[in-house]
Structure formats: C-alpha cells, structure tokens
Amino acid sequence: MKLKGRAIFEGKAQGRALVSSSPMSFYGGVNPDTGEVVERGSELAGQSVKGRVLVFPYGKGSTVGSYVLYRLAKNGAAPCAIVNAKCETIVAVGAIISEIPCVDMVDVCKIKPGVRVRIDGATLDF
C-alpha cells in the first residue's frame, strides 16, 4: 500500500512498524539511553523504539521530550522514522533537531504492527 502524508522532516528510511494507538510521551516515557518504552500502561511498554518506524497518533507531555529524541539519536537508539496522525510541537522539534524523518497527516490505523515500511519524503510504502 502507498500512503501520502505531509513531511515534517524530509528524509528516507525503512524499518518495521512499531505502532501505538495512544499518544506518546517521550519525557519519562522512553528510556533515552536504550530506547525502551517505560511509560506505565503503554501498550508498547518493554519494547524498544530503536531502528523502528514509530507510528502513533500524536505526542503529549513535557516539551523536554524533544531533547529525549535528540538524546536517543545521539545514543543510536532512536526510531528510524516517525509517523503521526497529527504532529505537534514536541515531536516536530524533536525530529528536526535529531534529523529523524517525520511524516504526519497519515491514517495511522492502516499501518499494522510489524510490517516493513519504506519512507521517502512524504510518501509511505508498505
């Protein structure tokens, strides 16, 4: 399937989808050194975002979350791409400063966990 969204930070990436149906908080929600999701009650708890195409509706929580994405990237534990239904400031700024390809305005329900997703600019292929 091919989906076209809106590029927040343009780039190419491919990886297996890690999908959260609820909003994600990076500050306090993801271990910045390992990429493990540590937010209590999250359906992704215990899984790692490292190297995955991370799919979730939108970000929430503290604006410090942008710096958590940056630290993940510096530690080689960042997702290879981010796909949102609607990107907000925390994730957008985090993706840009960490240079993680980021696309939004995508119907995220269409992406099944585990599928291989290829991203090029605003286009998703899976």
> Which residue of 21, 45, 89, 112 would you call a contact of other proteins, by CB under 8 A?
89
Q: What is the rounded distance in angstroms from the CA atom of residue 34 to the CA atom of residue 77?
A: 6
Which tokens in the block code for residue 7?
């590029």
Q: Does 32 help bind other proteins (rule: CB under 8 A)?
A: yes
The residue (of 56 and 67) whose beta carbon lies closer to other proteins is: 67
Does the active-site annotation cover 62? Answer: yes
Token couple for 19: 């999908």
Which of 96, 94, 89, 81 has the alpha carbon at shortest distance from 17?
Answer: 81
Binding segment for other proteins (CB under 8 A), chosen from 3-11, 17-25, 34-42, 117-125, is 3-11
Sheet holding 6-9, edge to edge: 2-4, 123-125, 116-120, 12-19, 53-56, 81-84, 102-104, 6-9
Among 38, 45, 88, 110, binds other proteins (CB under 8 A): 88
Residues that bind other proteins (CB under 8 A): 6, 8-9, 32, 63-64, 66-68, 70-71, 74, 86-90, 92-93, 96-97, 104
Residues assigned a catalytic role = 62
